[in-house]
Chain A
Amino acid sequence: MANVSLEKVGKTYGRHQVISDFSITLRDGECFTFLGPSGCGKTVILRLIAGFEHLTTGEIFIGDRLVSSVEKGVHIPPEARKIGVVFQDYAVWPHKTVYENVVYPLQMQKIPAAEAKKRTMAAVEQVNLGSLENRLPFQLSGGQQQRVALARALVSRPEIMLLDEPLSNLDANLREEMRFEITALQKQTGVTILYVTHDQEVALAISDRIAIMDKMGRVRQVGPPDEIYENPSDPFVFKFMGISNFIPLDWRDGRVFVGESGSPLAYPIPADVLDRIRRHELIAGCRPYDIELTHDDSSPTRGTIRRVIYLGSIIDYRVALGMQEIRVQQDVRDAGQGGIPFRDGDPVGLNFLHLKWFENRGLTEEVES
């Protein structure tokens, strides 16, 4: 119910500058995710917005209110920011019952008892913990405790909700369920959500927009999930979002080749891209399932099968292509249709269905940072 605005925000611990010159706006009512590897600073940003940490530079607005500013010497403490927070370890108070946990924010707001009880029970119902309000946390499962945390964060009708990797301690099935519940709750209440995680699957599943951060605290790309996935701005984003292959490109005898000693690349390449390949500026990125394998000579791009693994519905191949190995994944059904599946050592032709072009900027630095 409010937007969040960070302007030139910076945070330094001792000599370590975690974030610098960071500006971003979260729109009212959206589910915005900060996605990145551990240590990238995403949790620090959440804590700065919550008020658990002080800014080193910059300003933060929640709605129209200035909640943190170094220049103006403002720091509104967390308890006055009208936020709801869900922590990674749930942070459900072990000495209070479910009811006592959830009603606490209303008690802090000095809401009269009768109304507090009504709202608390409604929140408890909303997260499907209906008959358990008198239980103590140790009597609840991990998923149930997480729901208590959710209810507690929502009951005070906060302007924004901050969720710090709330699902990483749950098992896979439960994670899926809770993902959906979070999204559903958000739609019901219209609260703005800031979600922090390193799991790209969760980010894709729940977000309206994602900001991908690297280990240096830089934002690499901001956009809706499908845009991040389909149009990654650089190799780091591409690699982070899923299994990736990077194919070096060479220009010889007027054609594009795979790397310095590889075979020709057959792919419809637009003229301006060709120019850049000629100038050795580009590298190609490709997903494992965007590659077709053929037994025959129809493709000039040749490789050798190095390893075949049956993973049930998918077959996973390692294919030696030029000087490197790439991964190809085939649906078992498609493989069956194409004839006999491949075996170790088989020569194979590769058809690339979809390539992405990236600048060839010392790949390791791009991807590892």
Chain B
Amino acid sequence: MTMSHVKLQDVTKRFGPVVAVNRLSIEISQGECFSMLGPSGCGKTTTLRMVAGFEDLDEGEISVGGKIFSSSFKKYYLPPEKRDFGMVFQAFAVWPHLNVYNNVAFPLQIRKMPKAEIEERTRRAITYTGLSECAETYPNELSGGQKQRIALARAIAINPTVMLLDEPLSNLDPKLREEMRFEIKDLQRKFGFTILYVTHDQAEAMALSDRILVMSEGNVQQIDTPLNIYHKPANKFVFSFIGLSNFLPVEIADSAVYIEGQHDAGPLNVELPPRTLERRLILATRPFEIDIIREGGVRGTVKRVTYLGDVIDYRVMVGNVEVRIQKNRIKEILREGQRCGLKFNRILWYEHQP
């Protein structure tokens, strides 16, 4: 079994009475792109900062490549400057009083490498991030995207084995964000480092990661591949965080599933949930996974139609329960007030909690 490259074991961090990170255990393999995804305040940034060494953990152990960096058991703490990470911050953290070259060369100069080597490595990092033309320029003359590239170049200059990225793209505009995602991935492919990535943007996590850790309030909700998280979310939180969602209250009667209080609308075309004695449950489904049909299905009325170009967004009322459906515009467009039927294709069951 290959030893994991980055390992967190029961890592816990408290700020006063608040438990920011609760017994987090992760094992990341060499060369993996691992994301921590969650809403703000969920503990993902705190975890990253503990790995970086800016915060010390209260309990647990963090080790990289077999070497222990922080440990409460052994009362050991290695300061950040000795951890040899490459790190990219959300606000770029590029030094305004140094030009691009000197920003990138800084970590190499600190390590007192021979001049020729510093020159070579710096040039290489600058070239790989597409900054060769602005090596002498100062950051305040460059755009946000270029500044982020400086930060990337600076981080890869030392050939790190692990790169830490703290929401590096959230200060960039949407088009640039997409482009830079691929640039980061390309760099990873070229250099082969392990990535620990923090973001609140699920599309970004899905696009970049080999595995995602979904967090909420300091606790792990799920760790899995993007596809599995999307198709088999562990709980309601993960389901709703990872994409648009409907949570429909349903009840089981006469061996059929009905939307709660709307037996007149007819039964849903779904199988009964396995092994449950509950009569009331939550049925979770994505707006894209529902078909709108003329005859049959669960009867409802179209309340609102919003034309969004490539997609039409429908709100269909089944009684007083609103169901959200999104359909490709190629299919026929319904009108408000029209009666229709709903056919469910892909569903998940959750407990009915008030």
Q: Which of B87-95, B119-127, B304-312 contacts A (4 or more CB under 8 A)?
A: B304-312
Task: Using A309-B207, A312-B242 as known contacts, say yes or no to A205 and B230 having CB atoms under 8 A apart.
Answer: no
Whole-angstrom CA separation of A243 from B304 in the bound complex: 25
Whole-angstrom CA separation of A225 from B288 in the bound complex: 22
- Per-residue B-contact encoding for A63-89, CB less than 8 Å = 1, 0 else: 000000000000000000000000000
Residues of A close to B308: CB separation below 8 A: 201, 204-205
Residues of A close to B299: CB separation below 8 A: none
Residues of B close to A311: CB separation below 8 A: 203, 206-207
Whether a CB of chain A sits under 8 angstroms from the CB of B338 is no
Residues of A close to B226: CB separation below 8 A: 310, 312
Closest B residue, CB atoms, query A288: B310
- Per-residue B-contact encoding for A286-318, CB less than 8 Å = 1, 0 else: 010100000000000000000101111100100
Whole-angstrom CA separation of A196 from B242 in the bound complex: 31
Whole-angstrom CA separation of A333 from B289 in the bound complex: 9
Task: Give, as a whole number of angstroms, the nearest-CB distance from A144 to chain B.
Answer: 21
Interchain CB contact under 8 A, B207 and A229: no
Task: Give, as a whole number of angstroms, the nearest-CB distance from B151 to chain A.
Answer: 24
- Per-residue B-contact encoding for A165-200, CB less than 8 Å = 1, 0 else: 000000000000001100000000000000000001
Task: Give, as a whole number of angstroms, the nearest-CB distance from A232 to chain B.
Answer: 11
Interchain CB contact under 8 A, B243 and A313: yes
Task: Give, as a whole number of angstroms, the nearest-CB distance from A229 to chain B.
Answer: 5
Whether a CB of chain B sits under 8 angstroms from the CB of A21 is no
Whether a CB of chain A sits under 8 angstroms from the CB of B78 is no
Interchain CB contact under 8 A, B230 and A333: no
Whether a CB of chain B sits under 8 angstroms from the CB of A242 is yes
Interchain CB contact under 8 A, B304 and A180: yes
Task: Give, as a whole number of angstroms, the nearest-CB distance from A120 to chain B.
Answer: 29
Interchain CB contact under 8 A, A226 and B345: no
Closest B residue, CB atoms, query A354: B330
Residues of A close to B237: CB separation below 8 A: none
**Among candidates B206, B243, B307, residue contacting A225 with C-beta atoms closer than 8 Å:** B307
Whether a CB of chain A sits under 8 angstroms from the CB of B227 is yes
Interchain CB contact under 8 A, A205 and B306: yes
Interchain CB contact under 8 A, B328 and A331: yes
Closest A residue, CB atoms, query B328: A289
- Per-residue B-contact encoding for A238-277, CB less than 8 Å = 1, 0 else: 0001110000000000000000000000000000000000
Whether a CB of chain A sits under 8 angstroms from the CB of B286 is yes
Task: Give, as a whole number of angstroms, the nearest-CB distance from A198 to chain B.
Answer: 11
B contact residues, total (Cβ < 8 Å) = 23
Whether a CB of chain A sits under 8 angstroms from the CB of B76 is no
Interchain CB contact under 8 A, A200 and B207: no
Task: Using A200-B309, A205-B308, A289-B310 as known contacts, say yes or no to A310 and B345 having CB atoms under 8 A apart.
Answer: no
Whole-angstrom CA separation of A258 from B123 in the bound complex: 39
Task: Give, as a whole number of angstroms, the nearest-CB distance from B38 to chain A.
Answer: 16
Residues of B close to A310: CB separation below 8 A: 206, 226-227, 230
Task: Give, as a whole number of angstroms, the nearest-CB distance from B127 to chain A.
Answer: 22
Residues of B close to A179: CB separation below 8 A: 306
Task: Give, as a whole number of angstroms, the nearest-CB distance from A209 to chain B.
Answer: 13
Interchain CB contact under 8 A, B309 and A241: yes
Residues of B close to A331: CB separation below 8 A: 288, 328
Interchain CB contact under 8 A, A242 and B309: yes
Most-contacted residue by chain B among A201, A225, A313, A333 (CB, 10 A): A313
Closest B residue, CB atoms, query A228: B309
Whole-angstrom CA separation of A331 from B310 in the bound complex: 13
Task: Give, as a whole number of angstroms, the nearest-CB distance from A71 to chain B.
Answer: 41
**Among candidates A229, A309, A312, A333, residue contacting B309 with C-beta atoms closer than 8 Å:** A229
Most-contacted residue by chain B among A200, A201, A331 (CB, 10 A): A201
Interchain CB contact under 8 A, B288 and A201: no
Task: Give, as a whole number of angstroms, the nearest-CB distance from A338 to chain B.
Answer: 16
Residues of A close to B202: CB separation below 8 A: 312
In B190-239, which residues have CB < 8 Å from any A CB? 202-203, 206-207, 226-227, 230
Whether a CB of chain A sits under 8 angstroms from the CB of B54 is no
Whole-angstrom CA separation of A200 from B306 in the bound complex: 13
Interchain CB contact under 8 A, A313 and B288: yes
Residues of B close to A287: CB separation below 8 A: 310
Interchain CB contact under 8 A, A333 and B345: yes
Interchain CB contact under 8 A, A205 and B207: no
Whole-angstrom CA separation of A325 from B310 in the bound complex: 21
Interchain CB contact under 8 A, B307 and A205: yes
Interchain CB contact under 8 A, A204 and B182: no
Interchain CB contact under 8 A, B304 and A312: no
Interchain CB contact under 8 A, A307 and B182: yes
- Per-residue A-contact encoding for B233-271, CB less than 8 Å = 1, 0 else: 000000000110000000000000000000000000000
Residues of B close to A313: CB separation below 8 A: 230, 243, 286, 288-289
The 5 closest A-B pairs by CB, nearest first: A312-B230, A313-B288, A205-B306, A309-B207, A312-B243
Residues of A participating in the B interface, judged by any CB pair closer than 8 Å: 179-180, 200-201, 204-205, 225-226, 229, 241-243, 287, 289, 307, 309-313, 316, 331, 333
Extra A-B contacts (4), CB below 8 Å, given A312-B230, A312-B243 = A287-B310, A312-B286, A331-B288, A333-B289
A-B contact pairs, 20 of them (CB 8 A): A180-B304, A201-B308, A204-B308, A204-B309, A205-B308, A225-B307, A226-B307, A229-B307, A229-B329, A289-B330, A307-B182, A311-B203, A311-B207, A312-B202, A312-B206, A312-B242, A313-B243, A313-B286, A313-B289, A333-B289
